[in-house]
Amino acid sequence: MLLLLLVCLSQALIGFANPISPRSDYLSPNSTGFRMQHGFETILVQPFGYDGFRVRAWPFRPPSGHEISFVYDPPLEGPEDGKAHGMDYDTAFNGNRSVTMRNGNTIVRTSGWGGNPGGYRLAFYRVETDGSETLLTNEYAPLKSINPRYYHWNGPGSEFSAEFSFSTTPDEQIYGTGTQQDHLVNKKGSTIDLVNFNTYIPTPVFMSNKGYGFIWNMASEGRMEFGPLRNRFTANAASVVDYVIVSASPGDYDTLQRRLSALTGRAPTPPDWSLGYLQSKLRYENQSEVILLAENFQKYDIPVSLIVIDYQSWAHQGDWGLDPALWPDVASMAQQVKNLTGAEMMASLWPSVSDHSENYLEMQANGYLSATRSGPGTTDSWNGSYIRNYDSTNPQARRFLWDTLKRNYYDKGIKNFWIDQADGGALGEAYENNGQSTYIQSIPFALPDVLYYAGTQDSVGKLYPWAHQQAIEEGYRNATSTDVGTACDHISLSRSGYIGSQRFCSMIWSGDISSVWETLGLQVASGLSAAATGWGWWTVDAGGFQADPTVEWSANIDRPEYRELFVRWLQWTTFIPFMRVHGSRACDVQDAFTCNNEPWSYGEKNTPIIVSYIKLRYQLGEYLKAIFDQFHQTGRMIMRPLYMDFEKTDPEIARMTRENSNATTQQYMFGPKLLVTPVTVPNVTEWSVYLPRIDNSTKWTYWWTNATYTGGQNVTVPAPLEHIPLFHLGKREDVLSGNVFSS
């Protein structure tokens, strides 16, 4: 029995190293790909970009070639020289031979299994500098197993569900997969549902410590599973399965990010002002309150770059304009804010449309609203009213949305938009019925059975948030006569996203998180996973969004316990891509429609600390522009998990990353020179930090004392409330000047 298990394992993990087939053909270096027929199934494999392959597979009916895809064809970088691949290939066979194709340093090989000389399994290798080959992964096929490419038909149509399995080993580490509130940087052992909810943005893009990157290029909902021997990806409803794999040397994560971002998109550079301090709360109620806010920023001499008007500032869901009873002169307000502070303004929009909205009848008549596959078509409820969501997958609906926003906001001076509730399906709350009923707090299905212009929730649900971001991007680009990928004049803020969301002028935030210490710690790992997925434009609600009902002081600005948490949270956001404050606050004394959340709201002792970090953020302006520019040019991460830079020089980093220890889930590099370790528990005056080893001579310098330390050790440093544990490499003046990539 043991012998049989060993044989099975060897077949699954290394069987393709020596193909069983007696015939193995190397395709020419300039091959456009091969098409393999395997019974009723067809597999198309093409060299794609540098060091990569794109694989598409389908049973029976061939795809049209116009299916939803989140990868560029051709990639932004690669040997294609601007020529799209489409469905091209130059070699066709029916699975009765073994074929090998090479693209750069990556090889794909077909082979049989279980003594069969056919070539219907795929394996991917990296070619090493000495000419040897290292298996990256192959289709998981131990003896007597279900086919690694598995299809199932759920209904009368041609759409199918699919499960694709690939080999892995217990020591493989997986980085990326979007964001989950799980405190993990290494996702090995995780099962991740591909359904978007508030705080949960699963995205099937990942890097492996074995030296490859992977994109499950599917709009369908499904699942990712990272087991000890098998990685499995499922699609609930599809007409073609589509994935891409690229490779690089182990530990060269910058090259992997460059390859992946060439496929999924490079981020543009943000406007300089957006790198400053962004102010928000739930919620500024009217025009007078916003003008008073701007006057107070001027009075306290605190820099601010953006002031946000949050939700329910409209008369009805779906109006996509400010309620004129509360905001009588939008253009005048925006200009006064600009004159007082220099700040831009942002307004929130929800995708929901009530039948009370002035836009409802026109949108319903023109098919701009998503429906449900049965019943009256309502997708959620809010404030006692049933609502429908606009259909972001419909190009005409996207245009209608932007035209409305432009008329009501953009043309009046509010040119930045908060894409809230962008998760798709419903309003994105997985755990409640939005207060429609006191007695129903949890409904026993994930999302309504929504029908979109582009398909169903099952088949294209992952497209919804991406297309919602696209609606604003298309509007920006048309309004400014600029192209996607060029520098952004304005920005959007989205609660959700998907593969390639970084190509838009849009930052993603971690959702409506709770205002407690544990949640602060969770956000660090979440941001590092966002970075590994390719999203450099990432942020959080500093201070958390909402109170934890089990913690008496949570989110209360008048309680010393929460004030301490807020200060620690705020100082950490100085060192993430966008520094942003937001949240629903409680207070003992209330003097506005909602409790205050401004820098001066947290007590006389704390205000100078808060202001010092806001001003430090502006002092880091040149450094921020330099790291955002690198992200734009090459996909080089801004928030950098420690494995990115130190896996090769410090064996402890690899071990700690594998184990998801605090040193690797709570510490990271911010750009190439700053090591950040936020304080995530209360009542401390010192903090232990692991300093990665680089070489025998490079020293780490503690920002606050200028004390220097060698790497490869834990050090304990003073960390009073005024100081976040922060170290730098090289000269401080180089950090402040942004001169950090020249040497």
Residue finishing a domain among 239, 264, 289: 264
668 has which bridge partners? 641, 676
Domain shared by 338 and 243, yes or no: no
Domain shared by 243 and 283, yes or no: no
Domain shared by 148 and 254, yes or no: yes
Q: Supply the CATH number for residue 407's domain.
A: 3.20.20.80
Q: Supply the CATH number for residue 648's domain.
A: 2.60.40.1180
Domain shared by 330 and 436, yes or no: yes
Contacts of 142 (CB under 8 A, 6+ apart): 8, 9, 11, 12
pLDDT at 435: 65
Q: Cα–chain-centroid distance for residue 413?
A: 29
pLDDT at 209: 98
Spatial CA neighbour of 202 closest among 220, 189, 212: 220
Spatial CA neighbour of 98 closest among 165, 19, 169: 19
Spatial CA neighbour of 26 closest among 117, 93, 99, 135: 99
**Is 387 a domain residue?**
yes
Instruction: Output helix, strand, coil percentages for the chain, rounded to the nearest 5.
Output: 25, 25, 50
Domain shared by 259 and 332, yes or no: no
The rounded average pLDDT for each run of 10 residues, N- to C-terminus, in the chain (743 residues) is 41 40 72 93 97 97 90 97 95 90 97 64 96 96 87 90 98 98 97 96 98 98 98 97 98 98 98 98 96 98 98 96 98 98 98 96 98 89 89 98 98 98 91 69 82 96 98 98 96 98 98 97 98 98 97 98 98 98 96 96 98 98 98 98 97 96 96 98 98 96 98 98 98 97 73
Which residue reads 């739930």 in tokens? 282
Which residue reads 């434009």 in tokens? 537
**Is 231 a domain residue?**
yes
Give the Cα separation of 114 and 416 in Å (integer).
59
Domain shared by 253 and 362, yes or no: no
**Is 722 a domain residue?**
yes
Task: Say if residues 242 and 55 touch (Cβ distance below 8 Å).
Answer: yes
**Is 569 a domain residue?**
no
CA angle 226, 132, 35 (to 5 degrees): 65
Check residue 316 and report its DSSP letter: S
Residue 72: how many other CB atoms lie within 10 Å: 21
User: Residue 521 phi/psi, 5° resolution?
Assistant: -60, -35
**Is 392 a domain residue?**
yes
pLDDT at 384: 80
Q: Cα–chain-centroid distance for residue 331?
A: 34
> Is the peptide bond between 74 and the residue preceding it cis, with omega within 30 degrees of 0?
yes
Domain shared by 90 and 228, yes or no: yes
| Count, residues in the chain | 743
Residue finishing a domain among 485, 509, 533: 509
- End-to-end C-alpha distance for the chain, whole angstroms: 58
The beta-strand segments (E) located in 578-698 are: 579-581, 639-641, 668-670, 674-676, 686-691
Domain shared by 455 and 378, yes or no: yes
Domain shared by 144 and 283, yes or no: no
Residue finishing a domain among 509, 539, 567: 509
Q: What is the domain range of residue 689?
A: 639-737
Spatial CA neighbour of 478 closest among 423, 405, 548, 527: 405
Domain count, the chain: 3
Given phi > 0 = left and psi -120 to 50 = alpha, else beta, which region is 66?
alpha
**Is 343 a domain residue?**
yes
Give the Cα separation of 25 and 98 in Å (integer).
6
CA angle 690, 694, 698 (to 5 degrees): 100
pLDDT at 743: 52
Domain shared by 219 and 347, yes or no: no
Predicted model pTM = 0.95
**Is 410 a domain residue?**
yes
Domain shared by 81 and 225, yes or no: yes
List active site positions.
Answer: 420, 512
**Is 549 a domain residue?**
no
Domain shared by 234 and 365, yes or no: no
